[in-house]
Structure 1
């Protein structure tokens, strides 16, 4: 399937998915209003205000396409403080005011998603026998743990799963990211944090009811919330500093070999797609992307006159010098901590799956997965940029060329690459068109 056809499929199903989520959320709110107990107005307004504020001061980018706000903590607490309908209202209202989101469809989806998240968490709490309101006041510590703590932590887990599932669904339809890959990405990025959300939410509830502080408890939970926000901001800044380092290295390569900049970008995108298709965890996907982006960084140590000559005009000795760029590149980034895992992907990109490659003769799955992926991405780029190739290179042509030498590539990586190309098309800035 071509890129245009894939986009058409997504554009057909995405609106239906958004409409289904919004309709389900509205139906959930109406049903909970009609069937279940209704919350007190004062606590509901306070929690809505906290939700709105938390979302407005969120950190929109902490890496891995994940944002951070206090809203999840407030929704967990809302499950016990204002019940199912109240938690649905808090989630929905908090997301309706979004100054950073110009698309009303995205705002509606976010509001519906958080409404469902709040309602699902509160319903879980209720079904597990979670205590409500004044019933907590005279409970012992053991009773609080059994009738408040455990149901609230279970509600937290359910909320995490609902959030991850709905986000993974929309990104799968909108961007073609495999659902399972995105689900693991969200859970690995925010799943651990959700444990902290549950604990802080439990603290909020205990301060509100058993401690008898009521609305004043909101002030007491602000300190850990702000500390958590600061920690996530630092994490996001660290990831952005990594990207700036990568950009600096690629820019340096571009001053010597301008065409290498586009090759690096294409390789990074395609390598990430392949890694996603293989179901690699988020940390490994990042390593693969770094290795693909810097797979030619060793060219900085190769004479410019050799890089500018056509491969057919090189002597065997000159060819070996250029082929040695992978070892040179791995040495060049030695000592950069966050690139340590990517070094092996750069060093071993010229290994062969049958063990007859360079520089160390590694074979099969002993070759780092990043290196096996980089080998395929660079080979695909060579096929598409081949001056003797037709103006339109089909995916079948790419598959045929990759499989022409059975011992060269990991067959699983080749299969994942073909699926990725069929799903996404060719990365931007490709010099030729890839057709179905």
Structure 2
């Protein structure tokens, strides 16, 4: 199919999906108004919205580039028992509308509709789990845990799942990334932190209602989180410095071998997608991505007397040796050593090594002077390999990823 036609279909599908999420938000708002009514305390709605909106102005932080710690989820979850389902939806709407980020109108509309929908879905889950909207009348820790704490944990889980599926849906239509991969990736990167938000929200509700602290409860509960964000910001800056160092290594590789320009990035992207498809854990996927990015590092230094005659295995071993002593690259170094041991066509190896080898060979063939297409390149990779269950499984995943991403993501696959 013509690339322009495919692009237009993707845009139309994305627009239709955004419209459906907007309608979902409106429908849930009507449902919550009919079933639960309007908020009793509009002052609390305004206070929560103001405090929640202020969290958008804090710097975004991440411990590893994937796991993000944000305070707005705490406000959203705490708002459910304090101002009810419709009130929490209004709080989340104001928060999303007040974001400082400059984004296109279509994306902003989707973000607002998505956050409102996920908030009210989690509020409905809270009510279905036995949560009370009159927590101020509860007496004793047992009642608070059973009628506020446990339901907030259920609402927290519902919020996580609803957000994962709604966001993964729009990414699937706009970028072609499989829904399952996106959902699993978001759940893996946000699950534990999301659970922590539920616990903090429970403490906010206790201080706000039975403790009669009001809006001050948010400030008290978020103070430790703000400290954690600051610490993570420092770590994030250190991580960015490491990323710049990796970029410098890739530049050195491409300067040494200009024919490989862009090759490292493409192999890293393809290898990461394959690792996700094979169900590897987040740490293993990260190591595979980094190993794919640096798999040609050994080419920067040529062994004495081996100019023009160096082999893949020795280059891979040198690359792995160059990374030794760098703890944050220890996993990638181990993968590169495995690639070196499995460099011959009839060798087996770990799943990670097979992924790097397959992605490397595929990209080199795809971007060779012969101008062959993706499926032909995969056939040639398959012909070079000894057929084993492990290698066949990796090549099947390579084929699946190429077909899913052909024309959908830069550098992942080219058209035939």
TM-score by length of 2: 0.90
The partner residue of 1:332 within 322, 328, 349 is 322
Q: Please tell me whether the aligned partners of residues 32 and 85 of structure 2 are also in contact (alpha carbons under 8 angstroms).
A: yes
In structure 1, the residue matched to 2:71 is: 70
Distance 1:182 1:138, change over 3 A: closer
Q: Does 1:59 align with 2:79?
A: no
Q: Report Cα offsets for 1:192-227 as digits up to 9, x if no partner.
A: 011210111011100011112122323322312312
> What is the deviation of 1:281?
2.8
Deviation at 1:138, TM superposition (A): 4.8
Could you say which residue in structure 2 is the equivalent of 1:126? 127
Preserved CA contact (<8 Å) 1:184 1:282: no
1:286 CA drift (Å): 1.2
State the Cα deviation string for residues 377-409 of structure 1 (Å, max 9, x = none). 22112312333x1x4x22231122122234078
Q: Which residue of 2 aligns with 1:166?
A: 166
Q: CA deviation at 1:45?
A: 0.4
Structure 1 SS opposite 2:386 = coil
| Corresponding residue number in structure 2 for 1:145 | 145
CA positional deviation for 1:306: 6.3
Give the Cα separation in 1 of the matches to 2:219 and 2:100. 25
- Equivalent residue for 1:386, pick from 365, 368, 374: 368
| 1:376 CA displacement | 0.9
Offset, 1:88: 0.7
Q: For the residues of structure 2 that align with 1:190 and 1:197, how far apart are their CA atoms?
A: 11
1:345 aligns with: 335
Q: In 1, are the aligned partners of 2:66 and 2:189 still within 8 Å (CA)? A: no
- C-alpha change, 1:386 and 1:152, in structure 2 (3 Å) is closer
Question: Aligned residue for 1:360?
Answer: none
Per-residue CA deviation, residues 319-353 of structure 1 (Å, 9 max, x unaligned), is: 44x54101111111011112111123212325559
1:376 and 2:358 are equivalent in the alignment: yes
**What secondary structure does 2:244 align onto?**
helix
Q: Distance in 2 between matches of 1:429 and 1:165?
A: 26
Say whether the 8 Å CA contact 2:149–2:202 is kept in structure 1.
yes
Partners of 1:381 and 1:116 lie apart in 2 by 41
Is residue 353–residue 407 contact of structure 1 (8 Å, CA) maintained in 2? no
- Measured after TM superposition, the shift of residue 369 of structure 1 is 2.2
Taking the aligned partners of 2:281 and 2:366, their CA distance within structure 1 comes to 29
| Residue aligning to 2:225 | 225
Instruction: Tell me which of 414, 418, 427 is aligned to 2:395.
Output: 414
Distance 2:216 2:117 in 1: 27
Q: Give 1:147 deviation, angstroms.
A: 1.4
In structure 1, the gaps of 5 or more residues are 310-317, 358-362
Which deviates further from its counterpart, 261-270 or 62-71? 62-71
Provide the rounded CA distance (Å) in 2 between the counterparts of 1:261 and 1:305: 26
* Equivalent residue number for residue 113 of structure 2: 112
Q: CA deviation at 1:305?
A: 9.7
Aligned-partner Cα distance in 2 for 1:100–1:190: 21
Q: Does structure 2 conserve the Cα–Cα contact (< 8 Å) formed by 1:256 and 1:304?
A: no
Is contact 1:3-1:423 (8 Å) kept?
A: no
2:143 match: secondary structure: helix
More off after superposition, 98-107 vs 247-256:
247-256
Moved more, 86-95 or 376-385: 376-385
Question: TM-score scaled to structure 1, two decimals?
Answer: 0.86
Count residues in correspondence: 412
2:324–2:330 contact (8 Å) kept in structure 1: yes
Aligned to 1:312: none
Q: CA RMSD in A?
A: 2.8
Write out aligned runs for 1:114-263 (5 A). 114-133=115-134, 135-263=135-263
1:58·1:68 contact (CA, 8 Å) conserved in 2? Answer: no
